[in-house]
Amino acid sequence: MLARRSKRAILAFLGLSIVVAVMLAAVGRYFDSVEQKRRLQEEKAQLKEREDFIFTVEPRTVERERRYAAAVDPWLVADVPAEVAGRVSEVKVETGSPAKAGDPLVLLDDEIAASDYRRAEAKLVELQRLLGEAETLGKNRVVSRTQVEAVRAETRQADAEEDATRARLEDHTIRAPFDGSVVERLVQVGEAVNINQPVVRMVDTSRLRIVFYVNERDVDSFPAGTKVQLRLSAAPGKVFDVPVVNVARASDESTRLFRVEGELANADLALRGGLTGEMTAKVGLYENQLFIPTACVRLEGSGATVLRVSTGEGGPESVRVRVGEELDGFYPVLEGLSAGDRLLVR
């Protein structure tokens, strides 16, 4: 009997404990709910008070700029070759020497060529004398017209031989092909050279060729005559306006980039070939385009979302948007938002 009463008391105590535990849990959940509501109200109040965390979407007009690594090359570069084989008798220039078109650069031993020319010249003079006599005799019918024409043909051949030997003699003097300067002397006195062997490397830096490479999206932004801005490490603080003169019609096979060339006047030779710099160019214009800060955007795979703040009591809502390429900390909005939308800056 006593054992049964003890069991009942124990069961009653356990039941009461369970009821108390359930009540305490319910009370805890109630207070947690109250605390969450209080925090949410505080966050909303703070959100309303901190307008610097809200960005209002408005249309803007923006020019897009791109920067490209640029190479500064001489306008003309030539390895000046020997036109004939021979031995170097004199080098008339050194590295850095200026040269005008036609100036002698390197002389080859021309003794044999000079001798050939003198013989050809003497033969021509003699045939010209004989032709004059034959023409006089022909007028007096002392010799036939056929004989006169034979002398005339021989004279023409001798004239051609004289021209050829004079040209070979002149080829022993290797001359500058254009106005410029010598960047490297490639032969020494006494050295034997072959036909087409380079003897001097020359450049023309009175104009400079500015070379840079652009992608397929930007290449149409560089029609001939477009002005781009060049900054050089060798000329800090200076900005050069460079007009575009050539754009490749096909991309490089390995990089898939298009070569663009500009021309920079350098008549005073203040700049040297081989410098490096940075090219800045305007490659796009956004007119009345919606822009939003990158801090408003959360990129998710191939898409993006923003938190739009509603004017009612509800919290920010997640909105999917399509944006363009980042530009100075902002994305152009292509789809998903309208002017006047207010976004949470995260």
- The 3-class SS string of 164-210 reads HHHHHHHCCEEECCCCEEEEEECCCCCCEECCCCEEEEEEEEEEEEE
Q: Mean pLDDT check: name the lowest of 40-44, 120-124, 269-273, 293-297.
A: 40-44
Select from 209, 210, 213 the least CA-distant residue to 251.
213
CATH of the domain at 212: 2.40.30.170
User: pTM higher than 0.75, yes or no?
Assistant: no
224 and 292 housed in the same domain: no
- Please report which confidence band the pLDDT of residue 282 belongs to, taking 50, 70 and 90 as the band edges: confident
The answer for residues whose C-beta is within 8 angstroms of residue 222's C-beta and 6 or more apart is: 214, 228, 244, 247, 260, 281
209 and 280 housed in the same domain: yes
CATH of the domain at 164: 1.10.287.470
277 and 296 housed in the same domain: no
What is the rounded distance in angstroms from the CA atom of residue 170 to the CA atom of residue 172? 5
* 187-202 per-position pLDDT tens digit: 999 999 999 999 999 9
Residue 41: inside a domain: no
* 13-24 per-position pLDDT tens digit: 666 667 656 666
The total domain count for the chain is: 3
Residue 101: inside a domain: no
Q: How many Å is the maximal CA-CA distance in the chain?
A: 178
Residue 325: inside a domain: yes
CATH of the domain at 302: 2.40.420.20
Average pLDDT over every residue of 267-289: 89
- Please report which confidence band the pLDDT of residue 80 belongs to, taking 50, 70 and 90 as the band edges: very high
What is the rounded distance in angstroms from the CA atom of residue 184 to the CA atom of residue 242? 28
Residue 189: inside a domain: no
Residue 270: inside a domain: yes
301 and 320 housed in the same domain: yes
What is the rounded distance in angstroms from the CA atom of residue 138 to the CA atom of residue 124? 20
Owning domain of residue 127: 110-171
